[in-house]
Amino acid sequence: MSKQTAQSIFNLTDYRVYVQSWAQARGRGEFRRISLALGMHTTLVSQIFNNKKCLTEEQATSLCSYMGLNSLETDYFLKLVQLERAGTQQLKSVFKRHLKQIQNYSNVIKSRVPESEDLSESDRAIFYSSWQYSLIRLLTSIPQFQFKEKIAFHLGLSVSRVQEILDFLTSRGLCKEERGRYHRTGKNTHIEATSPLSIRHHQNWRTKSLELIERITLEDLSFTAPISLSPDDIPKIRRILLEAISEISKLVENSASEEVAYLGIDWIKM
């Protein structure tokens, strides 16, 4: 992807301009892909975006889903379609008022700056509900994965799901967005070992690790070994692992963000 749509949809009064800009950013053949996604003939799609026909609300809803628009962007897009299709000036005035309300609300969200460095309990419950939140945030540290479409393709997720997570991360100050490109911020996340969410966090990543093991390569490392040993050696091995974790943390802190890897270490007395 060479570029992203430069304009926010909330700055526009014609949905065609937004779609054309979005399609151009995705490269040649995008309108053909849109026709396939919407189950429409390419001729009809061409007529719509050449101002000869109008999108229906049903077609517009499907298009918003295909483009990965969030709920507020979808509401605005649909209002633009309804405005175009309105048969009276009185109805057009109603939709124009709705559009203005959505524009104002989008400006409030865009200017939101988190007051606290700590996530609230409800936000932490969301963040640690799935490995997707932390992994998507990590991926935005890597230039090639700073676009929602790239992340969705890499992880095998829908664009709308990735957009939902990115909206959460940006609204909580964990990522920032600039013209469709997402960047991880310096804000840290932390969860105490005694928190019930810590168990969920470990479970999420252990489940994900089972999926990763199925496509392990020689460059990777997976080690599982039930061990019998002296009670005196149990704390010694724990210290070795803690020292290794400390060394890894120091190394990662100054390492360039170019790849994402998973590290999971278990040392549990049975």
Residue 54 included in any domain = yes
Residue 32 included in any domain = yes
Residue 82 included in any domain = yes
CA nearest to 86, candidates 122, 113, 54, 120: 54
Helices (H), the chain: 15-26, 30-38, 42-48, 57-67, 71-85, 89-110, 121-127, 131-139, 148-155, 159-171, 196-213, 234-253
**Which are the contacts of 172, defined by CB distance < 8 A and separation ≥ 6?**
114, 119, 123, 127
Question: 80-98, pLDDT tens digit by residue?
Answer: 999 999 999 999 999 999 9
Q: What is the pTM of this model?
A: 0.53
CATH of residue 74? 1.10.260
Residue 193 included in any domain = no
Residue 47 included in any domain = yes
**Could you list the residue range(s) of the whole structural domain that residue 92 is in?**
9-110
Domain count, the chain: 1
Question: 250-266, pLDDT tens digit by residue?
Answer: 788 778 888 888 888 87
Residue 239 included in any domain = no
Question: 28-48, pLDDT tens digit by residue?
Answer: 889 999 999 899 999 999 999
The residue assigned the tokens 């309990």 is: 121
